[in-house]
Amino acid sequence: MRIGVPKEIKNHEYRVGLVPAGVRELVASGHQVLIQSTAGAGIGVDDAAYVAAGAKIVATAKEIFDGAELVVKVKEPQLVECQMLRPGQVLFTYLHLAADAAQANALMASGATAIAYETVTAPNGSLPLLTPMSEVAGRMSVQVGATTLQKANGGLGVLLGGVPGTAPAKVVVLGGGVSGTAAAEIAVGMRADVTVVDRSLKRLRELDALFAGRLKTMASTAEAIESLVTQADVVIGAVLVVGAAAPKLVTREMVSKMKKGAVMVDISIDQGGCFETSRPTTHADPTYVVDGVIHYCVTNMPGAVPRTSTFALTNATLPYVKQLADLGAEKALAADPHLAAGLNVHAGAITCEAVARDLKLAYRPYRVAA
C-alpha cells in the first residue's frame, strides 16, 4: 500500500504523522511511504533521515494526496486538504468533528474514509490514541497556567506553589480522566492547592488514593463548580465525552464572578470547550480576556512541544497504521471493532453517532461487508 504523510499546515503545528522508525517498519512490510519534504523539520528530523528509512520524498501536499491510498496526519485536515481527498482514500488522523461542521461536511463531500484517532478504543474502554496527547496537554496546562498567572502576562501575580508564609495558588481541575490526572500531577508537584472535580465517585476515590491525600476531590455539581471556580486562581477544563461536544460546565455568569487576573485553560476546546466563554485560539495568539479572566483555548496544545508529542503519538498509532496498510481499511475495520470505533466518515456519511447527534446530521452506521 502507498502511505502518504503531508506536512501539517495548521497554525504553529509542527508534529508529523510518522517518524523514520515507523517508515522503516512499514517499508519492511512491503509498503511504499511518501513523505512531503520538510514534514519532519519541526521535530528536528530532516528528509535524509526519512530517505535512509526507505521513504520517498515528494515536494507538495498534492503529490501526497494524489499518490497515497492511506494518508496519515496529526491534526484535522484543513479545508484545502479536504478538497484533495478522493473517494475510497483513507485518512487516519485526529478529527474532532463534533465541534467542526465545516470539516465534517467537507469530509463527507470528499467521499473519503476518515478514521479519527480520538475515537479508536481499547478492549478496556480507554482511548489509546488520544491518551498520549491528553497526557501532554494535561501536563502543559499547568505550565501555561503558571506562566499566564504572572503579572507581566496579565495574571494575578501569584506563584503557583507559593513560598513559606504565603498561600499557594488554588488550581481547580474539571475532569479526572487522563488529561485531568496529568494536570493534577504537575500542579501537586508544583505545590499548588489542587481540587479535582469529577462526576464519578469511583474515580475520585482512585485519585484520592493515587495522590495519598495531597489533593482534594469534589463530586461534580453546578453548585460545587461555581463555588470552586469563583475562588480559583487557575481553572483547567479537562472534560471528555467520547466523540461528542464537551458539556459547558462553567457558565458565563460563573466567569463574571471569578477573580480578575485568574486563568482558565480549556483542554477540551478541540471538542468545543467546557467553558461557556471558550472560543478556539492558536499558538500565535493564544489568550483573550473575558470579564477580567484570561482564557487559554489553543486547539493544538501539544503542537507547542512537537518532538515529545510526535514520538509519544506515533508510538501509539504505528500498530494501527500497519494494520490498515497490511489488511486494507475494509478488512482491518472488520477484523478489529476497536479500530472500527474510530470510523467517523465513510462514503459520504457520518458513521459516528455522537458526531451526527451534535452536528444534527444523519447518522449511517458502518456495515461490515459479509
Catalytic center residues? 96, 270
Q: CB of 193 within 8 A of CB of 159?
A: no
Burial class (CB in 10 A: 0-12, 13-18, 19+), 144: buried
**How far apart (Å, rounded) are the C-alpha atoms in residues 257 and 299?**
26
Which of 259, 258, 272 has the alpha carbon at shortest distance from 355? Answer: 272
**How far apart (Å, rounded) are the C-alpha atoms in residues 15 and 11?**
11
CA 274-253-187 angle, 5° bins:
50
What are the distances in angstroms from CA 68 to CA 28, 64, 175, 314?
18, 6, 39, 19
Strand partners, 172: 195, 235
**How far apart (Å, rounded) are the C-alpha atoms in residues 327 and 330?**
8
Q: In this structure, what DSSP letter does residue 268 have? A: G
Strand partners, 275: 250
Cell numbers for 153, please give them. 502576562
